[in-house]
Structure 1
Amino acid sequence: MSIKQRNHVTVLGNGEKTIVFAHGFGCDQTVWNRIGPAFEKDYRIVLFDYTGSGRSDKSLYSSERYSSLDGYALDLVEIADEMNLSDVIFVGHSVSSMIGAIASIQRPHLMDRLIMIGPSPHYMNDGDYKGGFEREDINELLDMMELNYKEWAKYLAPVVMKNEERPELASNFERTLSENDPVIARRFAEVTFTSDLRDRLAQVSVPTLILQTREDAISPIEVGEYVHEHIKGSEFVLMNARGHNPHISDPEETIQVIRDYLNGDRK
């Protein structure tokens, strides 16, 4: 089986420059359905599912390989190798922001630019660092996933999406979360929420844009600012969008901010 088959790689558009869109925890490449088409005219678009997610080959999921985010970064590197990708624009949501950061450190010529949406190098509070969660919060979340995955998805979806006036967003996201393999999803969640990559931020040398939303229950504004402060030369945008998934809830603003950055129109 090829890497492209393993990770259900989809290629759209015909541009010379490539944009790779990478989904966050609990999701798959379909979360970019309202973003990717806006760039197809000018770029080649590469979408994929991490091993164990979406329509990837779940039989190739290894709890040992994916016991750290480095294993997921290896998915990205292997896709790039098979497709001869270099100098790509990488757009990563949530945990994929840090997976992209790891890959950029390991392969300096893989990325031309790194765009992070709602990044967090560490989700737990630690002294003066406010990651947003206590260890007990993470343990309760993981326990809920193990005891009743469907109820966990029902609980988490509206917390993540916000936008209470548009309940259909939470309903649709609940459906996305519920389609995961519960065992693999719980393992991915544990890796995501217990990782500490703060010391790697200073190693990122790729030009980086950080997109931060308001009222983000997963990655608070303070975390986005922390990432900005620790990646040299990075740019920071506080969006008008609310919630953790602006590419789903506010695709127009997300598209515009990315486009402005790529076109050099940021002020």
Structure 2
Amino acid sequence: MDKQQILIRNNVKVTGSGSVALIFAHGFGCDQNMWRLIVPNFEEKYKVVLFDFVGSGNSDIQSYDPSRYHDLYGYAQDVLDICSALELKNAILVGHSVGATIGMLASIQRPDYFDRLVLIGPSARYLNDWPDYIGGFEREDLVALLDMMDQNFQGWASYLAPVIMGNTDRPELSEELKQNFCATDPKVARRFAEATFLSDYRKELSKVVVPSLILQCSEDVIAPLEAGAYVHEQMKGSEFRLMDATGHCPHLSHPDETIRLISEYFASTNSIQESELHT
């Protein structure tokens, strides 16, 4: 697949005017439009790269291959393909939810492509593994959700969207997420959900060598505090920030706080890099 085909496959959009690339990787059931409230704040200083995972948004659905995307490594390869097509090096990847996990997997394979990671609501495993690990869900709960997708996709979307979004006082947020779910091919969404929610990438965390910021919402039923803390504990060189934001999508529900914490992290790491240059 040539460079142009890759850019079409993942509906890649490039904006901004900076020399450092800032790549945004969306979460399950979402697309690049979910970043619209925070992207404008970074376009002056960064080359912003937006894309849709295959099967999401305006990606090329004809490129969807069940064998390639049966686990998250296929999606991670898409990220690496985009970096190669755009000739990116030392980029910063901002990943939300499963997009954070995919970004971590991509960075393990090609750490030279990435300077830093920003992981919003990450989880290496959504299933509880008692007594040592809390992911937030019991297997029977997730199996029931997957069965609901098969039997009543609209009903599944209506149920899960408010659970993920939280912030019940702002129903328009859940409605947007529901519409995103419903715009996805049900079979593709079902396979992506299984690859996401039944996965276990805990053993991969220690392989991440790229400095990372973990943003954890204070109340998040999808990626609870214990899951985010576990990612932080296992990833050397990571920083952990507990947000005032609630729900699982702070870039939509609490964009100002999300922008502030990301900007503070960039400023602090830039200061460290500058001081190292002068020593």
Question: TM-score interval w.r.t. the shorter chain?
Answer: over 0.9
1:159 aligns with 2:163: yes
Alignment correspondent of 1:49:
52
The counterpart of 1:134, out of the listed 124, 134, 138, is 138
Unaligned runs of 5+ in 1: none
Paired residue secondary structure (1:240): coil
> Runs ≥4 in structure 1, deviation > 2 angstroms?
none
Alignment correspondent of 2:227:
223
Alignment correspondent of 1:198:
202
The counterpart of 1:92, out of the listed 88, 92, 95, is 95
- Aligned-pair identity in percent equals 54
The counterpart of 1:109, out of the listed 108, 112, 120, is 112
What is the CA distance between 1:228 and its match in structure 2?
0.4
1:237 aligns with 2:238: no
Unaligned runs of 5+ in 2: 272-279
Alignment correspondent of 1:82:
85
Alignment correspondent of 1:22:
25
Paired residue secondary structure (1:100): helix
1:205-261 deviations in whole A, cap 9, x for unaligned? 000100000210100001000000000121000000000000010111100100000
Give the partner amino acid of 2:260.
Answer: Q
Could you tell me how far apart the structure 2 residues matched to 1:164 and 1:194 are? 27
The counterpart of 1:176, out of the listed 158, 177, 180, is 180
Paired residue secondary structure (2:206): helix
Alignment correspondent of 1:6:
9
What is the CA distance between 1:28 and its match in structure 2?
0.5
How many correspondences in the alignment?
266
Could you tell me how far apart the structure 1 residues matched to 2:111 and 2:238 are? 16
Alignment correspondent of 2:42:
39
Could you tell me how far apart the structure 1 residues matched to 2:247 and 2:76 are? 25
Give the partner amino acid of 2:12.
Answer: V
Paired residue secondary structure (2:94): strand
1:23-50 deviations in whole A, cap 9, x for unaligned? 0000000000111111001111000001
State TM-score, norm by structure 2. 0.94
Could you tell me how far apart the structure 1 residues matched to 2:204 and 2:66 are? 23
1:72 aligns with 2:75: yes
What is the CA distance between 1:167 and its match in structure 2?
1.3
Alignment correspondent of 1:207:
211
